[in-house]
Amino acid sequence: MGVVASAPAKVILFGEHFVVYGEPAIVLAIDTRAYAKIENRDDERLCLHSSNLNLSAYFEDGTFKVEQGNTREARMKFEPIRLAAERVLEMYGKHVGLNIEINSTVPVAAGLGSSAAVVAAVTAAAATLLSVKISKQDIFQITFEAEKIVHGTPSGIDPAISTFGGALLFQMDTGFKPLDVKMDIPLVIGDTGVERLTRVQVEKVRQVREKYPQVVEPMMFAAREIVLRAIDAIKKNDMNTLGDLMNINHALLYGLGVSDESLEWLINAARKAGAFGAKLTGAGGGGCMIALANDERLEQVLEAMKRAGGRTFTARKTDEGVRIEGA
What's the pTM?
A: 0.90
Task: Please state which CATH number belongs to domain 3-179.
Answer: 3.30.230.10
Is 187-315 a CATH 3.30.70.890 domain? yes
Long-range contacts of 51-55 (CB under 8 A, 24+ apart): 51/101, 51/102, 51/103, 52/102, 52/103, 52/104, 52/105, 53/77, 53/102, 53/108
Domain boundaries, the chain: 3-179, 187-315
Same CATH fold, 187-315 and 3-179? no
Read off the amino acid at residue 17: H
Cα separation of 115 and 119, whole Å? 6
Q: Taking a C-beta distance cutoff of 8 angstroms, is the pair 74, 126 a contact?
A: no
Per-residue pLDDT of the chain (327 residues; tens, 9 = 90+): 799 999 999 999 999 999 989 999 999 999 999 999 999 999 999 999 998 888 999 898 888 999 998 888 888 889 999 999 999 999 999 889 999 999 988 877 777 888 899 999 999 999 999 999 999 999 999 999 998 887 666 678 889 999 999 999 999 888 889 999 999 899 999 999 988 777 788 899 999 999 999 999 999 999 999 999 999 999 999 999 999 999 999 999 999 999 999 999 999 999 999 999 999 998 899 999 999 999 999 999 999 999 999 999 999 999 999 999 986
108 by DSSP, 3-state: which? coil
| Residue tagged active-site, from 138, 158, 191, 260 | 158
Q: Taking a C-beta distance cutoff of 8 angstroms, is the pair 41, 194 a contact?
A: no
Strand blocks (E) in the chain: 3-14, 25-40, 46-50, 55-60, 63-68, 98-104, 167-171, 175-179, 187-191, 277-281, 288-292, 311-315, 323-324
Whether residue 295 lies in the annotated active site: no
